[in-house]
C-alpha cells in the first residue's frame, strides 16, 4: 500500500516538452512560485498562481501555476510556500523512454514463451500455459492455445480486448512511424521490421488460433475456469484452459484487426498479410451468416472476465470499414453504409464500444472512394466529440476530459482513449488545441493529478508500486514490472480494499496503491495501448 505523504504541488514527474504548455497544480490558495534549477539551486523563473477554485472531482481547492515561458532544457522543481515539487525535466523530447517502457510492457504480458533475463531483466520467468485448451462446449476437442498476451493482472486471453490493443498499436505505427525507429530490443528485433510490429505479431499469431477452423467465427476467450491466486506465477498456473464459445463481438473484432494487420504488414511480409486478410474475410462470412448471434455470457462454472457485450453493430461496422479500406472492395463499402445508418456509438474507443475504430478507418482511408455525405457526417461527429472533451478539460483543474461521474473502473483508459481521439481529430484537420489538451492528459497520468502519483509503474518519482498484477506480486522482485498503466480512480469502489479505505473520498481520489485493489490498481493491455499511441505523438 502506498504510504508516501501527499505533496501539495503536482507536476508531470517526468517532464515537459520545451516548446509546450507547462503548468503545475497546487492544493490551497497558491501564491508566488519559483522554478528552481535542480543542479545549481537557483531560481530561473518566477510567477504567480492563478486564482484558486474548488474542483468538484478532486474535492479540494486548487490553483495552477504556468511556466510555459521557460524553455531552457534542464532539470527543475517548483518551490512555493517553502514546499518543493518533484523534479522534472524540460527537454525537446522528454517522453522517449516512457514510450519505450509502455511498449515494452507488452513483452512482459507475453504468454507461452520464456521471458529471458537478456530482455526481461529481473522480471524473467519460464514459459507458461503450454497445454492445449478444451473447446468448452465440445469437451472432447482440444486445440493449440499457446501464445498471445495475458490480458491483465490475471492470465486470461481475450479476443476483443486483444484486438483493441493491437489496433491502438498499429494506429500508432501508421501515424507515428518515426517514434518506433529504435529497437526495444525484443528477441525478434531486426529484419527490417520495427519492434512494435514484431510485438503485435506475437498477439496476432495467437489470434489466428482463436478462429474456429470449422466455422470461421472467433472464440470469445481462452481462460481457466477461475482466476488463480494473486501470488501465482504464470508458469505455476496449471489449471485446465478452455476456449469459450464463439461470439459475434469477438468475431467482428477479429475481422477488423486482421484486415488492418493485412494492410500494415504488407510492406514487410506479403505472405503474412495474405494470411491476415484471408482470416478477416472468413470471419466476415461468419458474421454475414449469423446476423442475430446472441451476446456472450459466462457459463455458470466460469468466473474469469466475461467481457460481455450484447451489441455487435459496432464490431461489424469496424470490420466492414477495415475490409473496405484494405481491399477497396465496394461490397464491403455497401455493408459499411448500411451499418453506418444504424444507431450505436461511433466515436468510442473502448473494448465494449469499438465504433470509433470503424469511423477512423473510413476517415483515414481513400477519401475519393468514400461516400461524401457520410464522410462529412462522420468527420463532423468526431470533431464534435473532440470539442466536447475540450470543453470538459477547460473546466477541470488538471486539464483532463473527465467529469466527476467519469471516474469509473478503468478511468485511466477513459483518459487515454479521449486523448487519443483528440489527437485523431487534430490529424483530421481539427484545432491545434486538441494536441495541447492531449498533452495535459499525459501530465495527469504521470503525476499532475489529485494524488501526486504516477500511474505508470517504474516512471516518475512516485509511481504505482503495488499493482494488482500476478507476476509483480509473485516474482519476489521489489519493483513491479515496469511500464504498466494502472486503472486509476474509481468512484464505484468496486473491490473490498477500496471499500475499506476510500469511503467518502471524492472521485479523483478514489484510488489506493494496493495489490488487492483490482478495481482501481489492476493493469491491462488495452490501458497500455492507447498510452503508447498518445505518448508516441509527442516523441
Active site residues: 468, 513, 522
- The residue assigned the cell 504510504 is 3
C-alpha cell at 495: 473491490
- Integer Cα distance of 411 and 148 in angstroms: 25
- Integer Cα distance of 202 and 212 in angstroms: 19
Q: What is the dihedral of CA 453, 400, 539, 530, to 10 degrees?
A: 90
> Which of 537, 539, 533 has the alpha carbon at shortest distance from 103?
533
Peptide bond before 185: cis, by omega within 30 degrees of 0? Answer: yes
- Integer Cα distance of 21 and 535 in angstroms: 16
Contact 446, 13 (CB under 8 A): yes
> Dihedral sign, CA of 275, 277, 220, 482?
positive
Strands 133-135 and 242-246, sheet pairing? parallel
Q: Where are the beta strands (DSSP E) in 81-204?
A: 83-84, 88-91, 133-135, 142-143, 157-158
> Which of 515, 494, 496, 323 has the alpha carbon at shortest distance from 410?
494
Contact 14, 88 (CB under 8 A): yes
- Integer Cα distance of 330 and 316 in angstroms: 16
CA 264 from chain centre, in angstroms, equals 20
Residues forming beta bridges with residue 74, ordered by sequence position? 90
C-alpha cell at 285: 462470412
Contact 318, 347 (CB under 8 A): no
3-state secondary structure of 44: strand
> Dihedral sign, CA of 28, 33, 37, 41?
negative
How would you label 208-218 residue by residue, b for 16+ Cβ within 10 Å and e otherwise? bbbbbeeebbb
118, HSE (Cβ side, Cα atoms, 13 Å):
6
Q: What is the DSSP string of 407-456?
A: --TTHHHHHHHHHHHHHHHHHTT--THHHHHHHHHHHHHBT-STT--BSB
Amino acid at each position: 500500500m502506498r504510504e508516501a505523504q501527499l505533496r501539495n504541488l503536482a507536476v508531470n514527474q517526468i517532464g515537459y516538452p520545451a516548446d509546450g504548455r507547462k503548468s503545475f497544480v497546487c492544493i490551497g490558495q497558491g501564491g508566488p512560485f519559483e522554478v528552481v534549477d535542480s543542479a545549481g539551486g537557483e531560481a530561473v523563473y518566477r510567477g504567480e498562481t492563478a486564482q484558486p477554485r474548488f474542483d468538484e472531482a478532486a474535492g479540494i481547492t486548487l490553483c495552477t501555476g504556468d511556466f510555459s515561458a521557460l524553455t531552457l532544457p534542464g532539470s527543475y522543481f517548483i518551490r512555493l510556500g517553502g514546499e518543493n515539487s518533484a523534479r522534472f525535466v524540460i527537454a525537446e523530447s522528454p517522453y522517449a523512454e516512457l514510450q519505450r517502457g509502455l511498449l515494452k510492457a507488452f513483452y512482459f504480458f507475453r504468454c507461452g514463451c520464456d521471458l529471458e533475463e537478456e530482455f526481461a531483466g529481473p522480471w524473467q520467468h519460464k514459459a507458461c500455459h503450454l497445454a492445449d485448451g478444451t473447446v468448452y462446449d465440445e469437451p472432447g476437442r482440444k486445440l493449440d492455445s499457446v501464445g498471445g498476451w495475458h490480458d491483465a493482472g490475471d492470465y486470461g486471453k481475450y479476443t476483443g480486448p486483444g484486438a483493441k490493443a493491437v489496433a491502438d498499436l498499429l494506429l500508432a505505427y501508421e501515424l507515428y512511424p518515426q517514434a518506433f525507429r529504435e529497437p526495444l530490443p525484443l528477441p525478434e528485433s531486426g529484419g527490417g521490421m520495427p519492434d512494435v510490429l514484431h510485438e503485435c505479431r506475437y498477439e496476432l499469431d495467437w489470434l489466428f488460433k482463436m478462429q474456429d477452423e470449422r466455422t470461421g467465427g472467433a472464440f470469445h476467450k481462452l481462460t481457466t475456469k477461475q482466476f488463480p491466486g494473486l501470488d501465482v506465477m504464470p508458469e505455476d498456473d496449471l489449471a485446465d484452459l478452455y476456449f469459450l464459445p464463439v461470439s459475434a463481438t469477438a468475431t467482428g473484432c477479429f475481422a477488423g484487426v486482421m484486415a488492418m494487420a493485412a494492410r500494415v504488414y504488407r510492406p514487410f511480409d506479403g505472405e503474412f498479410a495474405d494470411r491476415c486478410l484471408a482470416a478477416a474475410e472468413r470471419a466476415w462470412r461468419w458474421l454475414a451468416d449469423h446476423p442475430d448471434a446472441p451476446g456472450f455470457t459466462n457459463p455458470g462454472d466460469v468466473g474469469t472476465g466475461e467481457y460481455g457485450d450484447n451489441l455487435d453493430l459496432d464490431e461489424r461496422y469496424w470490420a466492414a470499414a477495415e475490409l473496405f479500406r484494405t481491399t477497396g472492395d465496394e461490397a464491403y463499402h455497401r455493408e459499411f453504409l448500411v451499418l453506418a445508418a444504424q444507431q450505436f456509438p461511433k466515436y468510442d474507443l473502448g473494448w465494449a464500444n469499438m465504433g470509433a475504430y470503424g469511423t477512423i478507418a473510413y476517415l483515414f482511408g481513400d477519401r475519393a472512394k468514400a461516400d461524401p455525405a457520410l464522410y462529412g457526417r462522420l468527420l463532423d461527429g468526431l470533431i464534435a466529440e473532440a470539442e466536447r472533451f475540450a470543453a470538459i478539460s477547460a473546466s477541470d483543474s488538471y486539464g483532463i476530459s473527465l467529469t466527476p461521474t467519469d471516474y469509473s473502473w478503468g478511468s485511466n483508459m477513459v483518459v487515454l482513449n479521449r486523448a487519443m481521439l483528440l489527437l485523431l481529430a487534430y490529424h483530421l484537420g481539427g484545432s491545434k488545441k486538441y494536441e495541447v489538451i492531449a498533452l495535459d492528459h499525459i501530465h495527469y497520468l504521470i503525476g499532475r493529478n489529485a494524488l501526486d502519483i504516477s500511474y505508470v509503474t517504474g516512471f516518475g518519482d512516485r509511481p504505482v508500486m503495488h499493482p494488482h498484477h500476478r507476476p509483480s506480486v509473485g516474482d519476489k522482485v521489489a519493483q513491479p514490472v515496469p511500464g504498466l498503466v494502472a486503472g486509476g480512480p474509481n468512484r464505484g469502489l468496486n473491490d473490498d480494499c477500496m471499500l475499506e479505505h476510500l469511503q467518502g473520498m471524492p472521485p479523483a481520489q478514489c484510488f489506493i496503491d494496493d495489490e488487492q485493489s483490482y478495481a482501481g490498481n489492476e493493469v491491462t493491455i488495452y490501458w497500455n495501448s492507447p498510452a503508447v499511441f498518445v505518448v508516441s505523438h509527442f516523441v
